[in-house]
Amino acid sequence: MSFDVEEVLYFGEEAIKAGNKHLEIILVPAWGSNLISLVYKPTREKILRSPNSAEEFRANQILYGVPVLFPPNRIGGGTFTFRGRVYRLDVNEEDKNNHIHGFLHGERWRLVRAESGEHGPVVETRIDVDSTSHPAIYRQFPHDFSVEMSYRLNGMAVCQEATIVNHGREPFPWGFGYHTSFSFPENTSRFALTAEKRWKLNERLLPTGELEDIEYKNLLSQGMSLDGFPLDDAFLASVSADGTSEASIVLQDGTGGDGLRIRYRGDKNFKHWVVYNADGKRGFICPEPYTWVTNAPNLTLSASLTGIQVLSPGERVTVKTEMLVSIIAQS
């Protein structure tokens, strides 16, 4: 099987386009290491929501491709305390007085590797943060660390790995996630999520600490229409025997032709999912896998529930997700 890996320009930015006979991806390192495009090649169907211009992307970059979130979602008041140290993150959601979505999705990452591997294309990027290279980030999160991203195409699967490394002398708390934006024509598409409970949120979209039943849990697990069904909810995942959790999307064009199913899986670290689709009429869906729940450092609950983890000096951790694409043949 032949694999293609090439350097291209994507709306003026240096990018990597890679593909096999099934799938094609485009990654833009300068846009926060964003996997900005995923296309099913036989039909050229766009699986991820991609911008039509650089200006459109910059106007709301969190809603295109696969933005990297470190940390994910909101921190109330932009502040939390860990082991006696007070962290003050910039409040960038002023109407709700929150910090939202972390530091890395708007930064320029370095391309480390882009080549054809044994089983398919491999693209790797990296960002190193310290007081000299990224003073604005360091002011908010005063630790030396790096994040390495690896993207691999293997048949009908896109595999993502993120490796976080603590290069400093003190431990730090960490949470990680993706604000993945899929194309989702509501009138012909279905969405499913394996969820156990829903986090009750306050008016600032922060968890109260309470978990509640999902009144449409059975429909959600089987796959449901979201046409006119707005979501901006946080869910506690229902994990499988191997510890993974999963969202799935069925895309059909309404003409009776074959459709696509995308299974989006997170490893045992991803215990929480936020699902966002604005008003349910915008043609996209964002199933967002998180290793910690929104505002986790400020919740007085067990770390095993909230997902807070600690990285010691010299330690590294790798978290994995994958998008598995399959064809739904029409009879």
For the annotated catalytic residues, the residue numbers are 179, 288
Rounded Cα gap, residues 128 and 142, in angstroms? 13
Half-sphere exposure of 233 (CA within 13 A, CB side): 21
**What DSSP line would sit under 181-218, residue for residue?**
-EE--TTT-EEEE-EEEEEEE-TTS-EEEEEE--TTHH
Rounded Cα gap, residues 8 and 24, in angstroms? 13
Rounded Cα gap, residues 16 and 164, in angstroms? 22
* Structure token pair of residue 270: 């991803």
Q: Is 322 helix (H, G, I), strand (E, B) or coil?
A: strand
**Nearest partner of 89 among 171, 173, 146, judged by Cα:** 173
Residue whose pair of structure tokens reads 């074959």 in the numeric block:
258
* Structure token pair of residue 184: 């989702």
In the chain, the amino acid numbered 319 is V
CB-based contacts of 166: which residues, under 8 Å, 6+ apart?
Answer: 143, 144, 145, 172, 311, 312, 313, 314, 315, 316
In the chain, the amino acid numbered 259 is G
Kindly report the backbone phi and psi dihedral angles of residue 9, in degrees, each rounded to the nearest multiple of 5, phi listed first: -105, 130
